[in-house]
Structure 1
Amino acid sequence: MAVQKQHDDSRYTRNACVLGLVVSWFVGIGSLLGGGICLYTEIRDGTATHIVMSHTWREILPLLLNVVVTLLNDSMGYIHSCSLRWALQREGLLEFNSNLRLLRASKYSRPNGMVANAVYLIGIVLAYGSTSLTFLSLNPDLAELLDRGYETDDTHGVHINAIALLTLGAGLFFQATITNWALVTTSIPTWSSNPLDVVRACTHDETDGHRIEPRIGRCMMGIHQAKEDARSQRPSPKQRPMITAHYRVLRIIVLLWVSPILSAAWGGGIQAYITKGHRNGVLGRSWSLLPIFTGITDSTCSISQCTDGTSVLNVGWSAEHGTAGTVGAVFLITAFQSIVTVSLHCAELIVNLSRDEAIYRELIGPKGTNGHYNSVWAAFTSWQTLFLFALKAGVHWIFGLAINLQFQLGVNMYPPQIFYFTAFALVTAVFGLYLSLRRPKGYLPAAYGHIQTMADIIDEWSDSGSMFWGEKYPGIPHRGVSGYTGTSTERLKDPDERHWYGGQKQHDPSHLRHRKSAVTVSSVAATTVPVNTTNVNYLTTTGISPAPVYYYPPVAVPPPPPPQQPFQPMYSYPQWTQQAPPAAPSQYPSVSSLNSAYSGYSTYSNQSTQPFLSGYR
């Protein structure tokens, strides 16, 4: 019967995510309604909805909107990730606690299928792409430099872009629909993001899923040896990095480094295009973070237009009739931004794998694991999660500064802001590379959230409180007998780098350490004593090395049967008949007699033939 935990803090995580889902429904439907009303008003009256605010707030407002969208996306994404995790578990395909949810599909769970994932990804792209396009401003100085006419009222505050507001609502609506679908149709045993809680549910809970069975003899084998045969190993003070543990990590690193390279080429090309004197380009001297235009021009400029403001290239792509003509520009910028959105979504996997390893390595920490783990609080106290959250909001915001849409002016590209975006993308790439190359310290074998590896290493679970990992049996080094490591509710001793570890408690061979009837495999094969092939096959499959030794009790050969009576003829009527004499008495016992004699030692043999662990000679 499954052991039930005496506490379950994951209900707080579920409630928080459901609250985020409810808010997403309201914001998504509200954006759709608001965008429809603004579009109807603009078509009817010919004027866009206008809100008065300062120039600073015009630039900060998209940043705040990015923060809100990131919060809603993450809350819905957590629900979608949990549903994918347990859908894969029921299909026997769950390898890691954290998965790249939009690029990993379930075979039987429709909310996590390929079509649903594609729609979900489109929703994320639309939501992030519309954040920098919802509020449109008009800079009069830039309009004069570009020889564009404008009205004075249009220069104060911002105009609501109905098309971008509709795309924002559509993006949140798509995500909320699939998330709600996954929430209703998926049975989730635990909402905790703690990989130890997930492993316990996979190994103990009696669900309709694929139960994970711990494998014997792998107490010192990490994820890098997950597909190798069981064997004893010496502990290492440092573990191998994440980039060699998960095949997707290297691909994500390449994708993260493509963004700064492409953006640097993009910024350099736009700057060179302006320098050559394009008629819609303005060469500026300002490198401020926020684009500025003072209207002061330089008459000695070598090109057509120079200013002490920010360099800009006007691309157009916008009709001169308000937001109704911005459909093409909205989808153009959203398509460019989709590359950034996908790369940041993939970076989530690296952060989640790193967090899983950090939580798992608390087994060797001074306080052990947290028995009352709260996923929401853990996310807000994790520097990796907070840093990625800041990168998501910041990178999308700075991308909106690099290429944006101005009211009645169309699409503008700003080379200084493009280079700032390049710097942000470079920080993201370095951050991902650092996490992927970092080598965890400690003798505990690395797992990076790998379910089977943690199930092999953890041999005891705690219903409440913390757990520790360490040495539970040192072995017999001078005789080559391996020890074993495991978990306990009490603090354990660190393993010894000079010792070999590869056993489990239930296979402790210490009760055989004083037996003297040791025979090797080769000698057993040469004798006529029956060999327990079950134990031979066991060591062959588990791959224990070197030269395992087997113990057998001394089996006494039974004495030969008594000699046959002398030949006596037999008589029959009406004449004498003689039968053939029996065969000569055998000098050796029959196979059946040996088996019957050996069966008397069956109980003792089953105990004494348990294999010693590797290293014994």
Structure 2
Amino acid sequence: MVAVPPTADPYELPSPQLSRQAEILTLMLDLIVTLCTESTGFVHGISLRSALASESRLRFNTNLRLLTAARGWHHPNGALLNVISAVLLIISYSSPSLIVCVDQNYTETFEAVVSEGIAIAGIPLLILGVALLLQVIIALSGMRAVKILTWSSSPFDVTAALVHHTQLTPATFRCMRRVSDLDMYGGPAKPPETQPSAWHAHPSIRKVVIFLWVIVAACAGWAALVMYISTRFSAGYGSVHLILQTWSFFQNPDGNYIAYGVPSAGIEWWIVLFVNIAAVQGPLTLGLHCSELIVNVIRDERQWRSATRSQGLRVATNPLKPIFTHPLCLILFIAKPFLHWIFGLSFDIAPDVSDDTLDYFMIFMYTAQIWNLCIALLILACFFTVIALRRPHGPQPAAYGHVQTLANLVDEWSPVMWWGHKEDGIPYCHAGTSDHPLPDVKMDCVYAGSDAGSLVPLS
């Protein structure tokens, strides 16, 4: 506990310095939660990929981990445990704002605060530990329930493993066919100048982007509702209008907000409190989880497009290296604890602790901080929308981690690969991969693959 000089005013709010210390500790807890959940999520995602491959249902290297289920309700990657995992994930991110609180010690007559410091609430800390432990158990159960195809997160290691185990067969005559051409006649094609965006190539990307914008709209509606209630019922809490002078990044007790109390007597009130938080924080948690799909799909595509660069495409990589070195992965990794922390500033749980005893909770909704969260979510949604709509340039067919497309495009496997023009032919040329740099494809030629001799020329 950190002691501060006594305060003269009874029931005075914690000092700004102590409040900042509590907020920093909460941010550190959010970061620790992110590290733990990302680690278990990595294992859970690997087992899901292997489970889908064993069921011949693996289409893309990256899938929505908690929204894609293996067959069987009792399977660790099944629908039931996915729902439980989602609830546990929400609880994990909801707990830090309840764990750190300010303890104020009053005089015997409650006329003044004699000391105050940081306190740790035991029950939410226990709940956080149990939630993280259960996620670890589910992830380990998934690892034991299926034979792991590969521990690599690279789509090329996954595709190579599927081809090696004859779970995937490369299709002929599709050396210039991209993932968006799956439903089309897979015959010869000329190299296109641009490729489809992730929005058009991956059906789940569209749902994720729309969901992010729904969260932004919901957050704006939440802020407007709090502002309306605060202004409409001016006799209660938060009667000050929101103006630029009262707008701040951190909580402002003189600003616009509403508040209500929840008693802390009994475990049932802790459950009510967690339900309050999870109902509001749940969409944010799931939205950030779904954003992983955009990041990982773009990461897979950029890895594939490195096959036309001078350094080539390196197939075998450390499973964790792309996660911590790719810029988009780092941005999302930082955004997760930061946005949850901003949420904690806008939806504040203020435990009333006196003399090391938890009396009740005050739940504050700060309008300015909700708008700050809305702005941050708006920036995130705009960023991911631009990323999802961006169309890669160049003739190299886009795959976005689609394993069948990669199996069709990679005709020669090696630790380092280059993609380009391989053979001239009449009437069709051949493009593919090699262990040495290849020339650029010829934009005026028609490509069909090395086995295209029996095809009828295009008119």
TM-score (norm 2): 0.88
Which residue of structure 2 aligns with residue 64 of structure 1? 28
Give runs of aligned pairs for residues 416-435 of structure 1, distance below 5 A: 416-435=368-387
CA distance in 2, matches of 1:412, 1:401: 9
Q: Which amino acid aligns with 2:457?
A: S
Which residue of structure 1 aligns with residue 14 of structure 2? none
Offset of residue 320 of structure 1: 6.7
Which residue of structure 1 aligns with residue 363 of structure 2? 411
Which residue of structure 2 aligns with residue 237 of structure 1? 193
Change (3 A) 1:98 1:432: same
Which residue of structure 2 aligns with residue 265 of structure 1? 221
Give runs of aligned pairs for residues 19-38 of structure 1, distance below 5 A: none
2:428–2:452 contact (8 Å) kept in structure 1: no
CA distance in 2, matches of 1:124, 1:432: 22
Which residue of structure 2 aligns with residue 523 of structure 1? none
Q: Which amino acid aligns with 2:260?
A: V
Instruction: Give yes or no for the alignment of 1:351 onto 2:351.
Output: no
Counting matched residue pairs gives 427
Query: What secondary structure sits across from 2:124 in the alignment?
Result: helix
Give runs of aligned pairs for residues 555-574 of structure 1, distance below 5 A: none
> Structure with the greater relative contact order (CA < 8 A, sep ≥ 6): 1 or 2?
2
Which residue of structure 2 aligns with residue 312 of structure 1? 257
Question: 1:280 is matched with which residue: 229, 237, 242?
Answer: 237
Offset of residue 77 of structure 1: 0.5
Instruction: Give yes or no for the alignment of 1:494 onto 2:337.
Output: no
CA distance in 2, matches of 1:168, 1:56: 22
Query: What secondary structure sits across from 1:235 in the alignment?
Result: coil
Give runs of aligned pairs for residues 81-160 of structure 1, distance below 5 A: 81-108=45-72, 110-137=75-102, 152=113, 156-160=116-120
Which residue of structure 1 aligns with residue 279 of structure 2? 335
Instruction: Give yes or no for the alignment of 1:55 onto 2:19.
Output: yes
CA distance in 1, matches of 2:56, 2:309: 32
1:502–1:613 contact (8 Å) kept in structure 2: no
RMSD: 2.3
Q: Which amino acid aligns with 2:29?
A: L
Query: What secondary structure sits across from 1:110 in the alignment?
Result: coil
1:67–1:393 contact (8 Å) kept in structure 2: yes
Which residue of structure 1 aligns with residue 404 of structure 2? 452
Q: Which amino acid aligns with 1:469?
A: W
Offset of residue 421 of structure 1: 0.5
CA distance in 1, matches of 2:34, 2:41: 10
Query: What secondary structure sits across from 1:106 in the alignment?
Result: coil
Which residue of structure 2 aligns with residue 529 of structure 1? none
Offset of residue 441 of structure 1: 2.0
CA distance in 2, matches of 1:237, 1:69: 44
Offset of residue 57 of structure 1: 0.9
Instruction: Give yes or no for the alignment of 1:194 onto 2:37.
Output: no
CA distance in 1, matches of 2:388, 2:316: 28
Which residue of structure 2 aligns with residue 472 of structure 1? 422
Structure 2 gap ranges (5+): 1-16, 353-360
CA distance in 1, matches of 2:155, 2:235: 56
CA distance in 2, matches of 1:280, 1:327: 25
1:474–1:499 contact (8 Å) kept in structure 2: no
Q: Which amino acid aligns with 2:251?
A: P
CA distance in 2, matches of 1:321, 1:92: 52
Offset of residue 323 of structure 1: 9.2
1:253–1:429 contact (8 Å) kept in structure 2: yes
Change (3 A) 1:151 1:70: farther
Q: Which amino acid aligns with 1:491?
A: P
Change (3 A) 1:138 1:424: farther
Which residue of structure 2 aligns with residue 578 of structure 1? none
Change (3 A) 1:491 1:275: same
Instruction: Give yes or no for the alignment of 1:179 onto 2:139.
Output: yes
Offset of residue 487 of structure 1: 0.5
Offset of residue 106 of structure 1: 0.7
Give runs of aligned pairs for residues 585-596 of structure 1, distance below 5 A: none
Offset of residue 151 of structure 1: 6.4
Give runs of aligned pairs for residues 497-512 of structure 1, distance below 5 A: 497-504=443-450, 507=451, 509=453
Query: What secondary structure sits across from 1:442 in the alignment?
Result: coil
Instruction: Give yes or no for the alignment of 1:400 onto 2:344.
Output: yes
CA distance in 2, matches of 1:406, 1:499: 68
Which residue of structure 2 aligns with residue 566 of structure 1? none
Determine which structure has the larger strand proportion and give its number: 2
Offset of residue 508 of structure 1: 5.7
1:158-213 C-alpha deviation (Å, 9 max, x unpaired): 33223322321222122011011122232213211111111111101x3xxx6100
1:6-51 C-alpha deviation (Å, 9 max, x unpaired): xxxxxxxxxxxxxxxxxxxxxxxxxxxxxxxxxxxxxxxxxxxxxx
Query: What secondary structure sits across from 1:313 in the alignment?
Result: strand
TM-score (norm 1): 0.66
2:157–2:315 contact (8 Å) kept in structure 1: no
2:247–2:368 contact (8 Å) kept in structure 1: yes
CA distance in 2, matches of 1:468, 1:385: 25
1:503–1:613 contact (8 Å) kept in structure 2: no
1:478-512 C-alpha deviation (Å, 9 max, x unpaired): xxx111111001111111111111122xx264xxx
Query: What secondary structure sits across from 1:283 in the alignment?
Result: coil
Offset of residue 372 of structure 1: 4.0
Instruction: Give yes or no for the alignment of 1:291 onto 2:251.
Output: yes
CA distance in 2, matches of 1:416, 1:429: 20
